[in-house]
Amino acid sequence: MTEISATIETLGQLLREVMTKPPATLDPDSDMIDEFGLSSVDVMELISLVEDTWDMAFPLNDLASIRTLRQLAERIIALEPRA
């Protein structure tokens, strides 16, 4: 499993925790707001879970350009410190 696939899978699990009625499948390229129906509170809860899971501070100004799980996963990977 690639790093992006593993990150998307973990994000999918976190997203299911946030959503009241998660879909059976989560397309990583679906819009989290329009297609999954996340509210701004849901998004902030997801980001809080991301910060806890990856032990990082996620820059909130990045949220404006992130609409999909794949975009969020790519940003998380870019923010992770490299050894």
List the domain boundaries for the chain. 3-79
Averaged pLDDT score across all residues of the chain: 93
Enter the pTM of the model.
0.91
Residues 6 or more apart in contact with residue 70 via CB below 8 angstroms: 4, 8, 28, 29
Judge residue 57's burial from the number of C-beta atoms within 10 Å of its C-beta, 0-12 exposed, 13-18 middle, 19 or more buried: exposed
- In CATH terms, the fold of domain 3-79 is 1.10.1200
- Report yes or no: 46 and 15 within 8 Å, Cβ to Cβ: yes
Q: What is the pLDDT of residues 35-67, one digit of tens each?
A: 999 999 999 999 999 999 999 999 999 999 999
Ranges of H-type helices in the chain: 3-18, 40-54, 69-79
Return the structure tokens found at 77. 């990977």
